[in-house]
Structure 1
């Protein structure tokens, strides 16, 4: 296998068939999407089978923290955090409210927790 076979190639925007797509009506676009088995729109029954990515994981990653750092910084038991992230358990109403506050202003939460320690 040559290096040419493994090198990423960029698409030339002029070489893509956007003119054909632009000429399609909204109904034709929808029919084309539905008929494409590799890229058809998600249906409600598809959504019911899919697992949501736990939002606490997304929030923790956005803060640039490991599980251990997040747990220590915000006084959440590491096992609880892992259960939330792995979908074994859902945060209860109080924990959800706390997570919303952390997401909104993590520095203020961290400062408040330092003062009470």
Structure 2
């Protein structure tokens, strides 16, 4: 692998065709995106309201510990989300969206199943 200093990299002549770049329109860019498989932005559907996890938790009148336990996540993860220290992964965002829309059903579905007593045949 060839290595160079920052000064060497900056001193190299540019290989970018500035005239071609300046002539590129938004329609060209969109066409390139479609050609590269990124689809049409209309395929993305309506924008989704992003409700912060702290707002969801407050609506449910739950502590961080209670809410984290109900979602089956570490309380530290919830704290990081609420304080903006870490981004919420898409799957977790979907879970939070579902809780926002129908908290009773989603939290009931997340509850561990009750174990039926097994009869012992002796």
Q: What's the TM-score once normalised by structure 2's chain length?
A: 0.48
Given that 2:70 and 2:111 are in contact with CA atoms closer than 8 Å, whether structure 1 keeps it comes out as no
Please tell me the root mean square deviation across aligned C-alpha atoms, in Å: 1.7
Moved over 4 A (4+): none
CA distance in 2, matches of 1:115, 1:62: 23
Is the radius of gyration larger for structure 1 or structure 2? 2
Pick closer, same or farther for the CA change 1:80–1:114 going to 2, 3 Å: same
Q: How many corresponding residue pairs?
A: 64
CA distance in 1, matches of 2:106, 2:62: 15
Alignment partner for residue 109 of structure 2, among 94, 112, 116? 112
CA distance in 2, matches of 1:90, 1:116: 30
Q: Deviation string for 1:33-92 (max 9, x for gaps)? A: xxxxxxxxxxxxxxxxxxxxx711111111111101101112121010000001100111
The answer for unaligned runs of 5 or more in structure 2 is 1-50, 115-122
The answer for unaligned runs of 5 or more in structure 1 is 1-53
1:100 aligns with 2:90: no
Q: What's the TM-score once normalised by structure 1's chain length?
A: 0.50
* Shift, 1:110, TM fit: 1.7
